């Protein structure tokens, strides 16, 4: 095992331990607070007319700076605002963040991407830029387990129309955000035991994906290349 891999595993173990301790210490209080939708909605109402803006801003930030899948903010928005408004606010926020990345990368080029994208991801970014096809990029946003946020930088480095690509990206992201919003809107009906099972399954899948992420992404991207008839 290389030192860098050992360090990543140690950091992951420390993070899981810290999360477990936090849940043990504050879990019951947080569960009581978050399971009461009316309490959460009352808290959100304290922001007044700006409440939807909070949801939109969080969705935009997760695209720009936070390594959080858009489905997570979609889940929260659905829980607080219902299926349709939750999906709408999530989509608006995600598209604002995406548009900003596209515009900045188109303006400042690869030097900006090199500052914002981890060095280990730059090679993957360059491979994505080589694809250039609208259908190929649309499918990345539509299908799971693909680097959609990284793809935003890749599109900005191509000559594709930003306006057209924003439409493709919105269409690709919408199904996932809608499903997440629907799940969030119906989350109150799930029992604690059900949540425990669901979270356990998600964590296991996340760990499996993290372990074989590069292999999974490489196979899916190769398949997309063939599907879109890229030479």
Residue 174: name the closest of 74, 57, 82 by CA: 74
Neighbours of 28 (CB within 10 A): 10
Overall average pLDDT of the 48-65 stretch: 78
Residue 28 has pLDDT above 60, yes or no: no
Helix (H) or strand (E) holding 200: helix 192-211
Report the mean per-residue pLDDT for the chain: 76
The tokens for 110 are 């690869």
pLDDT at residue number 34 = 47
Write out 125-159 in H/E/C secondary structure: HHHHHHHCCHHHHHHHHHCCCCCHHHHHHHHHCCC
Helix (H) or strand (E) holding 110: helix 83-116
Residue 33 has pLDDT above 50, yes or no: no
Q: Are 89 and 59 in contact (CB under 8 A)?
A: yes
- pLDDT, tens only, 113-130: 888 777 777 777 777 877
Overall average pLDDT of the 28-41 stretch: 53
- pLDDT, tens only, 146-203: 888 788 888 888 888 999 999 999 999 999 999 888 888 887 676 767 767 766 776 6
Residue 230 has pLDDT above 60, yes or no: no
Residue 25 has pLDDT above 60, yes or no: no
- pLDDT, tens only, 74-100: 887 888 888 999 999 999 999 999 999
Q: Are 177 and 71 in contact (CB under 8 A)?
A: yes
The tokens for 135 are 């259908």
Angle between helices 148-156 and 134-142 (to 10 degrees): 160
Residue 50 has pLDDT above 80, yes or no: no
Residue 184: name the closest of 69, 62, 72, 16 by CA: 72
- pLDDT, tens only, 63-80: 876 556 666 778 878 888
Q: Is the model more confident about 204 or about 177?
A: 177
d(CA 43, CA 221): 43
């Amino acid at each position: 095992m290389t030192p860098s891999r050992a360090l990543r595993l140690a950091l992951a173990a420390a993070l899981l331990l810290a999360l477990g301790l936090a849940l043990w210490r504050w879990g019951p209080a947080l569960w009581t607070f978050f399971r009461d939708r009316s309490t959460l909605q009352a808290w959100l109402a304290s922001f007044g007319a700006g409440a939807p803006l909070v949801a939109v801003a969080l969705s935009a930030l997760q695209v720009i700076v936070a390594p959080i899948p858009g489905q997570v903010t979609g889940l929260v928005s659905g829980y607080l605002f219902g299926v349709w408004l939750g999906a709408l606010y999530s989509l608006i926020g995600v598209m604002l963040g995406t548009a900003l990345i596209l515009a900045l990368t188109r303006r400042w080029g690869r030097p900006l991407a090199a500052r914002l994208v981890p060095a280990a991801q730059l090679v993957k970014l360059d491979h994505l830029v080589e694809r250039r096809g609208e259908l190929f990029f649309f499918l990345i946003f539509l299908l799971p387990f693909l680097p959609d946020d990284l793809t935003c930088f890749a599109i900005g480095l191509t000559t594709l129309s930003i306006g057209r690509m924003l439409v493709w990206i919105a269409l690709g992201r919408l199904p996932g955000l809608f499903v997440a919003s629907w799940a969030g809107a119906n989350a109150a009906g799930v029992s604690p035991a059900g949540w425990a099972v669901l979270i356990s399954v998600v964590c296991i899948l996340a760990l499996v994906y993290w372990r074989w992420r590069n292999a999974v992404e490489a196979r899916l991207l190769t398949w997309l290349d063939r599907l879109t008839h890229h030479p």
